[in-house]
Amino acid sequence: MRSDPSDYEFAAPATLQEAVKLLAEEPKAWLPIAGGTDVMVQFAAGTLRARKLLSIWNLPELRRIEVLPNEIRIGAGSTYTDLRGHAVVASEFSLLVRAASWTGGIANQNRGTLGGNIVNASPAADSLPALLAYEADLVLSSARGERRLPYVDFHTGYKEMQLAGDELIRAVCLPRRFAGYLPYARKVGARHAQAISKVCMAALGRAERGEIRDVRIALGSVAPVPMRLRQTERALEGGRLEADIIARARRAAVAETRPIDDIRSTARYRAAVVGNLVVEFLQMLGGFNHHG
């Protein structure tokens, strides 16, 4: 049963400063709402527990994309459409742009935000494996000031995160140093648009004279939080792109993930897909080496 709109208090501050001030006055009382693509679904289902909503949609401080020499700082309120339409994001961070293009349909992409995808913390969120592969940092803002932490440390368990009750994600920072890397992104789901992933993967790697360098393999929907396959990555480092190492990587990847059975897929299917995607990525990396 849908929620009753008369039950909700709603604040729409004009600046980030006002927003964090409200959060500081009553930590945890306010639920930030940006484009509403998650919050309004809970509202529709009658499961929205917060009674005070803080609209951060379109706050200018959160919707800027700053291009610096060494990194790009994406305001957390940037929409998927903003990401897809930004020249530097599109050319240097294709994993993120691919994920944005898979998230919902165009209407969802016009409202859904990168910061929202992070705090909603779905294990199936399509943009989060890309953040792991790029080793993104998050900038968190509160009335107490700002702090920066690696995204990999942010999600600590299912829907659990390093975000204080008075904090907002302000920006997502991606280092600009992946020009020589092969990007690989793949979503396996019922369909690309709308459907939630059964498995999604974002990977990066280099190949130097047939040797594997700095491979990063990140997956969604195979654990309570998006994860990097650290052991598989370590096993690959410096190896030659040949059939036996690819076969070993498949086994290592399957062993390293702990997928579950749920309404969208089975653990067995997901594990098989993880193995197949790792193999496909490494085969492409082999070709990348050969031709590149």
Partner 1 sequence: MTTNRGRKREISLLVNGERRTVRAYPMERLLDVLREQLLLTGTKEGCGEGECGACSVLLDGALVDSCLIPVAQAEGAQLLTIEGLGSDPRFDALGEAFLECGGAQCGICTPGMIVAAVHLLDRSSTPTIEDIREGLSGNLCRCTGYQQILEAVAEAARRTAAR
User: Is 41 one of the binding residues for partner 1 (CB under 8 A)?
Assistant: yes
Instruction: Please identify, among the stretches 5-13, 89-97, 126-134, 172-180, the one whose residues bind partner 1 according to the rule CB under 8 A.
Output: 5-13
Q: Which of residues 7, 68, 87, 209 is near partner 1 by CB under 8 A?
A: 7
* Cα separation, 134 vs 85, whole angstroms: 19
Query: Burial level of 279, CB count in 10 A (0-12/13-18/19+)?
Result: middle
- Measured between alpha carbons, how far is residue 175 from residues 134, 147, 151, 172 in Å? 7, 17, 12, 10
φ, ψ (nearest 5 deg) of residue 25: -70, -35
Minimum gap (Å) between residue 104 Cβ and partner 1: 6
φ, ψ (nearest 5 deg) of residue 130: -65, -40
Q: Per CB under 8 A, which of residues 179..238 are in contact with partner 1?
A: 192-194
* Cα separation, 90 vs 108, whole angstroms: 19
| Site size with partner 1, rule: CB under 8 A | 39
Residue 261: DSSP 8-state: -
Instruction: Please identify, among the stretches 49-57, 131-139, 229-237, 241-249, the one whose residues bind partner 1 according to the rule CB under 8 A.
Output: 49-57
* Cα separation, 10 vs 55, whole angstroms: 7
Minimum gap (Å) between residue 141 Cβ and partner 1: 18
Q: Toward partner 1, which CB reaches closer, 54 or 249?
A: 54
Q: Per CB under 8 A, which of residues 79..138 are in contact with partner 1?
A: 81, 101, 104-108, 110-111
| Contact set with partner 1 (CB under 8 A) | 2-3, 5-14, 18, 33, 35-37, 40-41, 43-45, 51-53, 55, 57, 81, 101, 104-108, 110-111, 192-194
